[in-house]
Amino acid sequence: MRDPLHAVPVRYKLPLMFISVCLLAFGVGGYLVSGSARSALEGEILARLEFQSRAYATALAGRLQSLARRTEDFASDGYIRDHTEALLGEPGGARTGVVREELRGHLIRNKLPLEAAFVDLWILDSSGRVLVGTKEAPEGDFPQAIPPDGPAGPLVFSNFLQVGADARARLFISTPLFSRTGARPLGRLVAWVHPGVWIVTSLGGGEFAGSSGMDPVRLHLVDGKGDHLQVDPTLASGQARGLIPEILESDFGTTLLTEHASRVALAATRGGQDLFTKSYPVGESGWSVRVDLISENALAPVGGLQNRFLGVGLILAIAASLLFFFPMRFLARPLQHLTDAARRLRDGDFGTRVPVESSDEIGQLAQSFNSMASAVQERTESLQSTAEDLRDRQRELAFERDRMQAVISSMRDGLVVLDEEGTPVVYNRAAEPILEEILESEQQLHPHHDCLRRDRGSAECRGCLFDTSSAPRSCMLEIAGGVFEIHATRFVSSASGRPGRVLVSRDLSDRIAQDERQIHQERLAVLGEVAAVMAHELNNPLAAISMYNQMTAAELEGNEEVLANTEVIQRNVAVCKRTIRELLDYATDTTPEITAVHLADTLEDVSAFLRPLRERSNVALEIDVPDDLPEVSGDEVQIRQVFTNLVVNAIQAIGSRGGTVRIRAEREGTHAVVEVEDDGPGIPEEVRDKIFRPFFTTKSRGEGTGLGLPTARRIAEMHGGSLRCIRTGAQGTCFQVRLSLA
């Protein structure tokens, strides 16, 4: 178990322990003794309060029963019965007023003086309406005096009521009033009771005054609905009977509060102090008596016991602290020296020692500490020498590692070292795009050339490269739009003997592109030679064919069938010449004749030139060129050829089903932008990247050479502009031409 005071020094721990023992012995002991005395006194006080509340309740209940019997005696008076029956028999008769006054006078003279607690008497009919009252009670209903069983019901004790203009506290006793024969209930006799006089006549004999031997208790009467009647202690004293006239006049000694107001008043009276309280019911009236006593005043005799016990304990604790000077001097101080020396030893002061001042256990502990410090110093010096050697070796290893990392990082080829699970552990920056494609991409890797292992149903290239147990292998893969040559070799670590794999990659994209450009240049050179030969060898026969065809057509005027054949011959000759011209234009680098070209006129020439082709295909051509569009700079013939190729392609894309080709031109800064859009089926997605390659065509054999778009693009770029396909799809294709303004 760990010491709960482990953070407290010994020189403080021992005195605090003895002081705590003293305070605990006298403090807790005093608390228990005073607590026992307090509990006994509280029990006695509560028992006394219960006795007093029962005595109050018994006296009040007895007096209340005597008032109830007095009320019943009044109700049995024949004079009252006869006059009440007369009032009920002739409610509007001539003698009604006389009978009421006679009955009222009888109540005032013969009944009301008989009981000092009665302040008013009423006669009610069976509905609760006041017939007669000694205090000139107003006419009206008073249903509170009628029990649920009706006017012939049992005796009724009311709750406390506030009556009159000054809202004085009153209560009433209601008893049934029958006819003289007792056969018919006439109504109720209500006796209004003054609560102060009732209490004085019940408790004012002096036997309750100061009977508890303590401070006067506070007396409360609580009715059935929770209202409280506060009673002054004077009303329970022996001199209270002499105060009855004053009580009747001013309601001295009683205060009626509602349930909420009584709680507020009780809280204000207590002032945050505890109360002793007891309650007891007052007979069968539904009321109860409650007596209160402030606990602080009642428990004052035992209140100082705890303080006296704590004072004695504190004095003994101070005396014990003075006696601990010598143990602290010769026990705690050497221990403090040992603690300080251990702290310095921990901080690196290995030459620290503690003085040995005795031969007891403390002295032996100091000698052991000095021996341990000497051993630690020797061991530390040896470790420091070893650590210096290790640091030198570590610096050499770090130098070799940095040099190896510098070599790997400076390599233009990618290098990847895999562990036995095929996880990359070392790689350089040149290998990052390859790793990202191989490890993170979910698509399969495709070899640049046919792979025999894939033909035999082996795993994908990813598994072939990363398999540490497979033989060395070299392959070319298409990764991230480029072609990489990857060499995979196995290796075994000499330290752990675990297998691994080394991948070295090289980007061959530039070399392949260069090879393709060289092949293309060679093809162009061959094409130029072929074009020159074809132009020389074919132009002369074609010229002769055209000349003789024209001569034949001139001689056959009127023979429409033969003339149609000559037109076909002439058209095919023109196609052959155009094909030869395209080959020559693409193969030779002709210098354009730069002039100012008006686009609107050039496009109108294109429309007129292609009108027969458009009409055969049922294709409409719409041209939208602003009037204020400036002229462009270029060779008019070559610019016309660009738009002729684009419109011809658009017409051929639409086909025989018919459609519309739209040409729109506008200015953007220093360029004129022309868009050629058709509503044909669009360019297939798989060939969109190839449409500008020479000799590539999607047309049927004999319908195209694949040089139209490459030639148009080359002409646009020669004029400082561009040609590109900006959109294509099922709704048609749109090409954009940019030309520099003149």
What pTM value is reported for the model?
A: 0.41
Neighbours of 631 (CB within 10 A): 17
User: Is residue 468 within 8 Å of residue 500, measured between CB atoms?
Assistant: yes
Sign of CA dihedral 134, 139, 143, 149: positive
**Residue 294 pLDDT > 70, yes or no?**
yes
pLDDT band at 216 (very low <50, low <70, confident <90, very high): low
Residue range 127-136: average pLDDT?
Answer: 85
Residue 176 confidence (pLDDT): 93
pLDDT band at 707 (very low <50, low <70, confident <90, very high): confident
Which range is least confidently modeled, 115-129, 238-252, 624-638, 708-722? 238-252
Alpha helices in 284-360 (DSSP H): 295-298, 305-323, 325-327, 333-346
| DSSP structure string for 682-721 | ---GGGGGGTTSTT---SPTTT--S-HHHHHHHHHHHTT-
Contacts of 508 (CB under 8 A, 6+ apart): 476, 482, 483, 484, 485
Assigned token pair, 496:
């752990």
pLDDT band at 213 (very low <50, low <70, confident <90, very high): very low
Alpha carbons 62 and 173: distance in angstroms, whole number: 14
User: Is residue 84 within 8 Å of residue 131, measured between CB atoms?
Assistant: yes
Residue range 85-98: average pLDDT?
Answer: 79
**Residue 238 pLDDT > 60, yes or no?**
no
Neighbours of 552 (CB within 10 A): 14
Cα angle 453, 457, 458 (rounded to 5 degrees) comes to 55
Q: Are strands 414-418 and 424-427 parallel, antiparallel or unpaired?
A: antiparallel
Residue 425 confidence (pLDDT): 79
User: Is residue 710 within 8 Å of residue 692, measured between CB atoms?
Assistant: yes
Neighbours of 237 (CB within 10 A): 19
Alpha carbons 527 and 587: distance in angstroms, whole number: 6
Residue 230 confidence (pLDDT): 80
**Residue 443 pLDDT > 60, yes or no?**
no
Contacts of 453 (CB under 8 A, 6+ apart): 464
Residue 214 confidence (pLDDT): 47
**Residue 9 pLDDT > 80, yes or no?**
no
Burial of 585 (0-12, 13-18, 19+ CB in 10 A): middle
Look over the chain and give the mean of its residue pLDDT values, rounded to a whole number: 78
Residue range 600-627: average pLDDT?
Answer: 87
% of the chain residues with pLDDT over 90:
8
Residue 444 confidence (pLDDT): 55
Which range is least confidently modeled, 74-78, 382-386, 556-560? 556-560
**Residue 5 pLDDT > 70, yes or no?**
no
Residue range 358-374: average pLDDT?
Answer: 81
Residue range 207-224: average pLDDT?
Answer: 65
